[in-house]
Structure 1
Amino acid sequence: YKFTAEDFRSSLLQTTYLLRTLPGRAALLSGGIIGRIAREFLQPNEVLDGPSVEATFARKGLCVNAEDGENEYWDDDLTEQEKATICGTYIMYT
C-alpha cells in the first residue's frame, strides 16, 4: 500500500477531532511528543477548566490515591489507542 495525501488528511482529521473532545485536555497535560502535538491544536490555558465530568463523577481516567488512604483524585487520561491516534500510528497487516 502506498500512502497518499488523502491518508494524511484523514489522519489529521482524526487527530483534530480527538484533541477537540475530552482527550484534548489530557493530551495537553501529557508532555512529550503528545503534548507538543496537542499544543498545535489547543491553547495551554484550556487545561485550566479542570478534569471532565467523566473523570470526576464517572471515575474514568487517571486515579491517584491520597496519602491518607481515604481519598482519591481523578483526572483525564489518554488510552493507548488515543495516544497512537495523536502520534499518527498506523498498522499495516502483511
Structure 2
Amino acid sequence: MFLILVYDVGEKRVGKVLKICRKYLNWVQNSVFEGEISDANFKKLKFELKKAIVEEEDSVIFYILRTTKYSERQIMGIKKGGDDIFI
C-alpha cells in the first residue's frame, strides 16, 4: 500500500516521532512522510507512534492509497525532502 502520513505533535515529541517515521517512510517536508509500506510495517509504525505521542494533545493522520494508479503529485514552490517519486 502507499501511505501519506502527516503529524502535529508537541515540541518535546517531534524528534522522536520524526525518527520513527523515517524508519518506515520517506520524508517529504515538515511533518509529512510518504512511501510504500507493507501491512506488517504499517502495524509496527502505528504501534511505535502510539507509544510516542500523547493522544490528548497530538495528531497523526494516515492517508492510505491501495494503488497510486490514478494519483498525481504536483509541487508548487520549493521542493523539500528526498528525490523519491510519488508514483
Q: Normalized against structure 1, the TM-score is what? A: 0.27
Q: Which has the higher helix share?
A: 1
Bigger relative CO (Cα 8 Å, ≥ 6 apart): 2
